[in-house]
Structure 1
Amino acid sequence: MLYLFHKAHSLPQKIAIIDSEGSHSYQKLNTDSDQIASFLLQGNPDLNEKRVAFMVNPGFDYVKIQWAVWKAGGIAVPLCITYPLPSLSYVIEDTQAELIISGPEYIEVLQDYAEEKGIRFLTLSDLGSSVSSLSLPKIESSRGAMILYTSGTTSLPKGVLTTHANIESQISTLIEAWQWTEKDHTICLLPLHHVHGIINVVSCALWAGATVEFLHPFDAKQVFGKFREGKINVFMAVPTIYFKLVSEFESSSEKEKEALFDCMKQFRLMVSGSAALPVSVMEKWKEISGHYLLERYGMTEIGMAISNPYEGPRKAGYIGKPLPRVETRLVDEENKPVEIGQPGEIQIKGPSVFKEYWGKPEATAKAFTQDGWFKTGDIAVVEEGYYRILGRDSVDIIKSGGYKISALEIEEVLRKHPAIKDCGVVGIPDEEWGELVYAALVALEPIDFKALNQWMREKMPAYKTPRNYIQMDDLPRNAMGKVVKNELKKLFNPESK
């Protein structure tokens, strides 16, 4: 039995999941997922790592499907519920999924496609059929468990295959580092086709015997309503969610603000990740909640690798120190370790690191060094023992006039301007300079770019100051709230379209 299912047996009456349909015990989760697993097997002893794609709303139904696929010996392929059919078909066809499971909301999106492609198609109501046998296969931890897709911010999304051993390592690392227990109660607001929601929130909670509550779709007012009930004590979100919650808080009455502050101050842990957290949001959240958010660093390929401490000083703008059982190093362009204080690419080793890019042996080989380190492509520096991200080598490190410039550093300065709500900084090719620094702004009012440039030059060296600006209503983002920098570049550089 995979350890993830342990609490479902040892705490059968405990509430595992709360969603729009009500409360669901660990025993029900265990029983329902066993029955569905048996149904999926159709009398066969094992799915033998067949890929099972599923498009189901966040909640009990999602988790029981995921568990059932694992119990039957399949590889889970969760589909993003907001993607259009072309994006879904890319994932289904790339994984060669042999079965698609759909919630009632997505039948119209998927059924005709599945029939056209000759893929077995099931709805949630189909899974309610009776089964004659509950004999399930023994699953070795070395077997494939899940394929998640990279965000595709820099290239076509790649399928990341993790084994059960990888997943167990990713979860147990966070259980230890963030001190999860069965007394915890968390809320999931995050997409469940991504490691942040699946591993950090849902799987950690269920591994620990805690309760996970689902709220779908996201609504800031409802989130604060859940907070005021006084049950939730662990909260994880992306920076865009924190920004929306801050806006909702500021629109509340003074009495409501006081009640919310008193409530949030009682939380055990609040975490931010999946995108860089602006220091301004970090400071504002501390003011309204009493919590200095714990920032951490991870990727689809590695789970979480680096984190600010649960106990101890958390540093704004830093991702922290390596997590238990995770090896890290910074290297230069020749793959040699850099001196302390010098920037380098983060490389990772350990049992949490994924097995391979699905169906892409060349990309897999290219992602690792000869001695087995995974190359993240993220550039960082270590200062006083804490890692600070400078950006992603391909999109956030701008090479201009012989300098390597961090787009994230410039963004952080721009966000301090009183009229700027958010921004994205990119490097645009230039014959003379190599690249020039350009910035897209989301502002509260029309911006005088000349005055802004003068303001910027008081804050940082001239060579880091953007050469060009545009103002927009919002920045292009993926499902996790990350700014898609390649889309931004097209706005400045029509030739990149």
Structure 2
Amino acid sequence: MTLSPERPVVSDIPGLLDRWAAERPEAEALRFGEVRRTWAELDERVRRLAAALRAEGIGPGDRVAVLDLNHPSCLEMTLACARIGAANAIVNFRLAPPEIVYVINDAGASLLLVGPEFAAAAAAIGDRIPSVRRTVGTDEYEAWLAAHEPEPGPAQVDPADCFVQLYTSGTTGFPKGVLLTHRAMLAHSDNVGHSFEVDPTAVVQVAMPLFHVGGTSYALLAIAHGARIVMLRIPDPAAVVAQLEQERITHTFLVPALLAGVAQVPGVAERDLSAIRTLSYGASPMPLPVLRACLPLFPGRMHQVYGMTEACGVVSALGPADHEDPSVAHRLISAGTPIHGCEIEVRDPATGDPVPTGEPGEIWVRSAQLMAGYWTQPEASAAAVTPDGWLRSGDGGHLDADGYVYVTDRVKDMIVSGGENVYPAEIERVLAEYPGITDVAVIGVPDERWGEVPRAVVVAPGGLDEAAVLAHCRAHLAAFKCPKGINVVDELPRNPTGKILKKDLRAPYWAGRERRTV
């Protein structure tokens, strides 16, 4: 990755810190509440943490895990893992305890860093995560760092190494660890930075959770370009608006559900938000009323983005001109065009052959920013990325004659609710275990706040207590995955081969609407 024509290529994540600590040691790198870190301080802390991890016996190929709301320690852990050849498996703190156990055990994490809100939960599952040799609470984190001297010299790592492992739900009902490498993340930072003009003068707000590419990849984008990071612990609309104004934020990424809250913050139209250069939104459907409310707040600065964890984040974008030109209003339901460094094609999901312009198929992506595969899942990895480097997204859609991509359905029936990926198989697995339910299908239905939410359609010959079934779901699933309602039917529609016709179940809910990912 080349940050400027005069600078040498940086081939790994630690090289970025080396660069900025040498070139801009006293410039502010990160702000979190009252916490301030210069580039020199951030570099020193990461080197201390790398030494602390090595002292715990953690090295190349090992995994650690973080269970916390946004905090600089999680980002430092990712950077320290990058330095020693390990990887940070950041846990989605919204998961239910059994799901948290699964992720930590799947990663084989040797160390668990836990925030105060999750200390009790971590203690409760301690006997079910045998690979974890040590748990570090954030209240002891500073003393732990201070007990070690910073590692000297440049890091010795392979750009093809995974350094951050983010989990995405799988069609089998269990999350998969996505292997994101130095090379891929640097390519993503280069491509997005080129497309959205990120440079050392930028101030990048990290409002989304670090377990998501909208959090971690966005933070690493800032580090790649020497921009200042301003991090929020939780994505609260009022805090987002206050920070945009007070910190003179130039770049931010927000999901539509959060933007809906931003538009409703009292007095938001009178706030000075003029510093914003790029407000990106995506990860779930954007209700048009929310978009209409936001366009006057951020004129000429809104970018719709489409992407996926397996591509480190963004692969296409719809720019401000397409948001505000009435003559191309139809493009508001598109995901825009490929960003710099990305190719997008639509292929027949059965044959892999390209389909004609305008015809539906599966969206395929090729770029240097693709994952190395799924952790310990070679078959799933081979199915996701072709030998010639195309990622099969699992999303259905089409390309128009101008090269705009429209994401119109999910090949794998994925539901995107408030920026979170929800696979019906996860919910169906839990519901199938409930006594009296003999058949089940979960679909996404429209929701004005979250874009879409899960709804269960079940066969229960003896009837069921909906409240009890939903309580069962809450005990085994994260809240955002729980069905928002249950329909009881005599039988589920199936095709001649026995496959449930979910399109028939969805049809009454989506009549007259576009079901899409943005």
TM-score range, shorter chain: 0.7 to 0.9
The letter of the residue matching 1:208 is H
User: 8 Å contact 2:248–2:273 — kept in the other structure?
Assistant: no
The letter of the residue matching 1:319 is A
**1:302 correspondence with 2:315:** no
CA–CA distance in 2 between the matches of 1:339 and 1:130? 62
Match 1:187 to one of 193, 196, 205: 205
Alpha-carbon spacing, 1:376–1:60, altered in 2? closer, same or farther (3 Å) = same
SS at match of 2:180: strand
User: 8 Å contact 2:318–2:335 — kept in the other structure?
Assistant: no
User: 8 Å contact 2:48–2:149 — kept in the other structure?
Assistant: no
CA–CA distance in 2 between the matches of 1:62 and 1:299? 21
The letter of the residue matching 1:94 is D
Q: CA deviation at 1:218?
A: 2.9
User: 8 Å contact 2:65–2:109 — kept in the other structure?
Assistant: yes
Question: Which position in structure 2 is the counterpart of 1:243?
Answer: 260
- Counterparts of 1:306-325 in structure 2, within 5 Å, are 306-308=315-317, 313-314=322-323, 315-325=331-341
CA–CA distance in 2 between the matches of 1:389 and 1:132? 50
**1:209 correspondence with 2:226:** yes
CA–CA distance in 1 between the matches of 2:357 and 2:105? 45
Which stretch shifts more, 19-28 or 305-314? 305-314
The letter of the residue matching 2:380 is A
User: 8 Å contact 2:302–2:319 — kept in the other structure?
Assistant: no
Question: Which position in structure 2 is the counterpart of 1:330?
Answer: 346
SS at match of 2:233: coil
The letter of the residue matching 1:327 is E
The letter of the residue matching 1:259 is E
Report the aligned-residue RMSD.
3.4
Deviations along 1:12-65, whole A, 9 cap, x unmatched? Answer: 111111112322111111101101101111297x71110111224313222222
Unaligned 5+ segments in structure 1 are 397-406, 412-423, 427-434, 444-475
**1:87 correspondence with 2:99:** yes
CA–CA distance in 1 between the matches of 2:384 and 2:197? 32
Question: Which position in structure 1 is the counterpart of 2:434?
Answer: none
User: 8 Å contact 2:252–2:279 — kept in the other structure?
Assistant: yes
Alpha-carbon spacing, 1:439–1:18, altered in 2? closer, same or farther (3 Å) = closer
Q: CA deviation at 1:120?
A: 1.6
CA–CA distance in 1 between the matches of 2:74 and 2:484? 34
CA–CA distance in 1 between the matches of 2:176 and 2:30? 31
Question: Which position in structure 2 is the counterpart of 1:147?
Answer: 165
SS at match of 2:191: helix
Q: Choose between structure 1 and 2 for higher RCO, CA contacts under 8 A separated by at least 6 residues.
A: 2
User: 8 Å contact 1:329–1:337 — kept in the other structure?
Assistant: yes
Alpha-carbon spacing, 1:493–1:277, altered in 2? closer, same or farther (3 Å) = farther
Which stretch shifts more, 337-346 or 151-160? 151-160
Alpha-carbon spacing, 1:495–1:167, altered in 2? closer, same or farther (3 Å) = farther
Match 2:176 to one of 121, 141, 158: 158
Unaligned 5+ segments in structure 2 are 1-11, 324-330, 425-440, 450-472, 493-499, 501-518
Q: CA deviation at 1:436?
A: 13
**1:119 correspondence with 2:137:** no
CA–CA distance in 1 between the matches of 2:261 and 2:182? 35
Question: Which position in structure 2 is the counterpart of 1:77?
Answer: 89
Question: Which position in structure 1 is the counterpart of 2:119?
Answer: 107
**1:367 correspondence with 2:384:** yes
**1:12 correspondence with 2:12:** no
TM-score, normalised relative to structure 1: 0.75
Alpha-carbon spacing, 1:395–1:113, altered in 2? closer, same or farther (3 Å) = closer
SS at match of 1:150: strand
Question: Which position in structure 2 is the counterpart of 1:386?
Answer: 404
The letter of the residue matching 2:179 is L
The letter of the residue matching 1:92 is I
